[in-house]
Amino acid sequence: MITFIGINTKSVLNLMQEQDLNTKNFKKNELGIIEHINDVSLEFSSMLGLDFQAGQIYMNLLRVGPTTTGALAKEMKIDRNKIYRIIDDLVNSGFVSMTLSSPKLCIATEPENAIELVLHKKKKEIDKINKSKKEIIQKIQSVVAAPLGTSIPTFRVIQGLDNVYSSIGMSIENSKGIVYIVTSIKDIIRMYHSDIPEKIKVSTQNGGKVFVITNSDEKKMIPYIKRLNATDVKIGKLPSNGRILAFENKQMFMSDSTNANDFMDESSDISLCTDATEMTHNISKLCQFLWEVSSPINLK
């Protein structure tokens, strides 16, 4: 029996047997079913701002119903100490509740309520920033004597998926030139639920062009690709498992692997950002070459 990213297919097969479904036919498509389940988990955790493993645990709780933390750790083959920490975080965030019984049972919050909870928290955060942003900017300007900015090439390392996407989105929004995005389809699924598509839309409305190269044009992935609002999209062989963005010889971002397994911990997403002339020029040339040798994707 195959277990893939915390999903034990034996329980899925048993459920199908209870429903008089043909498990022989299911086994032929077992990997496809597992992949679909994990795609849903990836999409859901991305939308709610959960790291991938926390999202997997939440999805499994929805699937199996009330259960103990120990049983869940065994089901998902996760270290007990680690799963206890993740469950505590999910409880504190409102995604999971615990019974007062002995043993205590974990119960997943209904997805609709979980989404509303996240929306409420995000709205409060945005309202707080909007209320105080002008005042804090004035205070900063009052204590900064020298003009901000420098002509010296900069080099930054950005850690955490939210921080990486935020920096990328800001750079895209301010771009009026050509931007190349070279990344995996799994990363595009993540971007689907970020504000990057809106930033791309702003850039193109201001005269910018955003070209995307990815590694899949499966029919089920087309909605995610279209949502990016890119000028054009192609499929091709990626030079690495990472993410590359080139801003027409002005700036570049490079990240390590962007495959689904690497989103188990979103803090592990680390990106290099620089405006060093030689590096940005070389990466821009690489992206131009990849674009030329890649094939168009039919988004209709």
pLDDT at 53 (0 to 100): 85
* The model scores a pTM over 0.85: no
Average pLDDT over residues 233-255: 92
pLDDT score, position 196: 94
**Band of residue 152 on the pLDDT scale cut at 50, 70, 90:** confident
42-64 mean pLDDT: 84
Which one is predicted more confidently, 47 or 261?
A: 47
Instruction: Specify the pairing of strand 3-4 against strand 7-8.
Output: antiparallel
Segment 166-189 shows an average pLDDT of: 94
* Residue 213 pLDDT class (50, 70, 90 cuts): very high
Q: What is the pLDDT of residue 21?
A: 46
Averaged pLDDT for residues 174-193: 92
pLDDT of res. 265: 56
**DSSP notation for the chain:** --EETTEEHHHHHHHHHHTT--HHHHHHTHHHHHHHHHHHHHHHHHHHT--HHHHHHHHHHHHH-SB-HHHHHHHHT--HHHHHHHHHHHHHHTSEEE-SSSS--EEEPPHHHHHHHHHHHHHHHHHHHHHHHHHHHHHHHHH--SPS--SS--EEEEESHHHHHHHHHHHHHT--SEEEEE--HHHHHHHHTSSHHHHHHHHHHTT-EEEEEES---GGGHHHHHHT--SEEEE---SSSEEEEEETTTEEEEEEE-SGGGGSSGGG-EEEEE--HHHHHHHHHHHHHHHHHSEE----
Domains annotated on the chain, with CATH: 3-111 (1.10.10.10), 153-296 (3.30.870.10)
Give the highest mean pLDDT range of 6-10, 137-141, 160-164, 203-207: 203-207
pLDDT at 48 over 70: yes
More confident residue, 278 or 9: 278
Is it the case that residue 40 has pLDDT exceeding 90?
A: no
Residue 243 has pLDDT above 80, yes or no: yes
Query: What local confidence, expressed as pLDDT, does residue 168 receive?
Result: 95
Q: Please give the average per-residue pLDDT across 157-166, as a whole number.
A: 90
pLDDT above 70: residue 289: yes
Write down the mean pLDDT value for the chain.
Answer: 83
What pLDDT shows up at residue 208?
95
Instruction: Report the range of poorest mean pLDDT among 106-110, 147-151, 161-165.
Output: 147-151
pLDDT category at 251 given cuts 50, 70, 90 is: very high
Residue 20: per-residue pLDDT: 45
Give the rounded percent of residues in the chain with a pLDDT score beyond 70: 82
> Which pLDDT belongs to residue 259?
55
